[in-house]
A = this chain, B = another copy of it.
Amino acid sequence: MTTTDKASTRDRLLDAAAEIFYREGVSVGVEALCRSAGVSKRSMYQLFASKGEVLAASLERVLPAYEARLAPGSQEEAGPPRERILHVFARLEKASAEPAYRGCPYLAALVELKDPGHPASVVARGAKEWLLGFFRARAEEGGARDPELLARQLMLVFDGASARAGAKVETLDGLTTATATALLDAAGME
């Protein structure tokens, strides 16, 4: 094994892919992607069957970190369910304040590739499913009247806010936490 073996080549490629696809969109060319990763097209096509697979793998790779950021401390010290939900929106607002923020990468992928069958769309839907499930679980724990409804409402707020903030149409200073709070209260969640 050389210093740039298969694994590290793959890592460099996926890291660069996540960064450039997020910054410039899924229409970035394979040439530019490989250049920014320091990986030859040859190597890329030995690791992946197509550009779409690279995109899907790059989205999948950052998913655990994404989830950990929104839902830290998987169990004990995580705090009461209401706090855990509001933490998601606090993180969203904090991230959206950075100038490089371009919205949730999973929602962006779903919108840009209009094809729901695209491998990256499948990964993106999985990310959305995970967050929906997180909200629903917390809603159940908190005794919400209709946990599924509340979770879906919170997803509307999350995705609406990330799309609008990413497109620089809105600045989220406290907006999503205020909105989420109103919905939690309306759902009778403690």
Give residues in A with beta carbon < 8 Å to B.
Answer: 23-25, 27, 102-103, 107-108, 110-112, 114, 116, 121, 125, 128, 149, 152-153, 155-161, 163-164, 166-170, 175-176, 178-179, 182-183, 185-187
Q: Are A108 and B110 in contact (CB under 8 A)?
A: no
Question: Could you write out 27 A-B pairs with CB less than 8 Å apart?
Answer: A24-B114, A25-B112, A27-B27, A103-B111, A107-B163, A108-B111, A110-B163, A110-B167, A110-B169, A112-B112, A114-B167, A116-B168, A152-B170, A153-B175, A155-B170, A156-B156, A156-B175, A156-B179, A158-B160, A159-B160, A159-B163, A159-B164, A160-B160, A160-B161, A182-B183, A183-B183, A185-B186
Q: Are A102 and B114 in contact (CB under 8 A)?
A: yes
Bound form: Cα–Cα A182–B145 in Å: 13
Looking at chain A's contact residues, the main secondary structure is: helix
Bound form: Cα–Cα A112–B114 in Å: 11
Give the residue name and chain of the B residue nearest to A108 (CB). Answer: B111
Q: Are B175 and A186 in contact (CB under 8 A)?
A: no
Q: Most chain-B CB neighbours within 10 Å: which of A110, A156, A158, A185?
A: A156
Chain B neighbourhood of A108, CB < 8 A: 111
Q: Are B167 and A111 in contact (CB under 8 A)?
A: yes
Minimum CB–CB distance for A180 against chain B, Å:
10
Q: Are B149 and A155 in contact (CB under 8 A)?
A: no
Q: Are B166 and A155 in contact (CB under 8 A)?
A: no
Q: Are A149 and B178 in contact (CB under 8 A)?
A: yes
Chain B neighbourhood of A116, CB < 8 A: 167-168
Bound form: Cα–Cα A175–B156 in Å: 9
Minimum CB–CB distance for A77 against chain B, Å:
30
Q: Are A163 and B160 in contact (CB under 8 A)?
A: yes
Bound form: Cα–Cα A23–B114 in Å: 8
Bound form: Cα–Cα A185–B187 in Å: 12
